[in-house]
Amino acid sequence: MIPQKSVRAAIYLRHSPKPEAKRNNDSIENQRAACVRYAQFAGLNIVTELVQEFQSARLVPFAKRGGTQVIELARSAGVRHLVCQRVDRIFRDVADGLQSMELLRRNKISLHFADEGGSALNCDTATGQMLFTVRLAFAAFEPALTAERTRAAMTQMLAEMICLSPSAPYGFAVDGKRIKGGGSRPNRDRWKLKFNMDEVRNLQLMHKWQFIDGLSYQ
């Protein structure tokens, strides 16, 4: 039987650019299962799925991660519902999320979330829209906070001339023995660095050739 247009749905699945293949595959399967369960409960007929692998929802706008395809499906196949597992699977940027929601609304596409903290979320309702906006803020906050902490940790390591690998970057050399890790990674060894003055002089010469003499790297 051909699904009625009013209940035709697409499901949206995404995993991050991080290369852990097995974890990514598990994530897609978990998302798919949650979306299928929700669609069955809500009486929606899934006609297709959009799988976005190795895609960043923070750096790549929704339009380039399947958003254009969703609009085309609405016009060509009568898809009226888009089902995702959670908000952070489709949006990690507040502006992108709000703009995309408005685009979906103008094209008469309802957005659903199958499992937001154990509860489903239908963004057609006033309560759903409010909760979506709040959850969107947290979805954007989480990666931004992680990036902020990473930058702070890297700045501190740079100030202390600490390296996480015994392979020193050009211009440096490993100075002495391993240093036991600390903080949240107590079992991870680190290495103290010192300047390799021969390599430093080469870098200074390269800098002069490029920025003062105007030569290319080649």
Encoded tokens for 112: 């659903």
What is 81-137 written as a DSSP string? EEEES-GGGT---HHHHHHHHHHHHHTT-EEEEEEETTEEEETTSHHHHHHHHHHHH
- Phi/psi at 202 (5° precision): -65, -40
Q: Is residue 15 within 8 Å of residue 54, measured between CB atoms?
A: yes
Measured from the Cβ of residue 87, the count of other Cβ atoms closer than 10 Å reads 25
Residue range 74-126, pLDDT digits in tens: 999 999 999 999 999 999 999 999 999 999 999 999 999 999 888 899 999 99
Please determine, for residue 178, whether its predicted confidence score (pLDDT) is greater than 50.
yes
The C-alpha atoms of residue 89 and residue 30 are separated, in whole angstroms, by 12
Question: What is the pTM (predicted TM-score) of this model?
Answer: 0.72
Q: Is residue 50 within 8 Å of residue 74, measured between CB atoms?
A: no
Residue in the block written with tokens 């697409």: 10
Q: Which of 195, 197, 194, 164 minimizes the C-alpha distance to 181?
A: 164
Q: Give how far the C-alpha of residue 71 lies from the chain's centroid of Cα atoms, to the nearest Å.
A: 22
Angle, CA 53 vertex, CA 75 and CA 56 arms, to 5°: 90
The reported pLDDT for the residue numbered 2 is: 44
The reported pLDDT for the residue numbered 181 is: 64
The reported pLDDT for the residue numbered 121 is: 93
**Average confidence score pLDDT of the chain:** 89
Encoded tokens for 41: 């409960």
Higher pLDDT, 190 or 45: 45
Give the SS3 label for residue 139: helix
The C-alpha atoms of residue 211 and residue 178 are separated, in whole angstroms, by 37
Residue range 19-77, pLDDT digits in tens: 765 677 789 999 999 999 999 999 999 999 999 999 999 999 999 999 999 999 999 99
- What is the rounded average pLDDT of the residues 8-29? 86
Q: Which of 55, 40, 50, 52 minimizes the C-alpha distance to 10?
A: 50
Give the bridge partners for 191, in sequence order. Answer: 163, 178
Give the helix, strand, coil percentages of the chain, each rounded to 5. Answer: 50, 20, 30
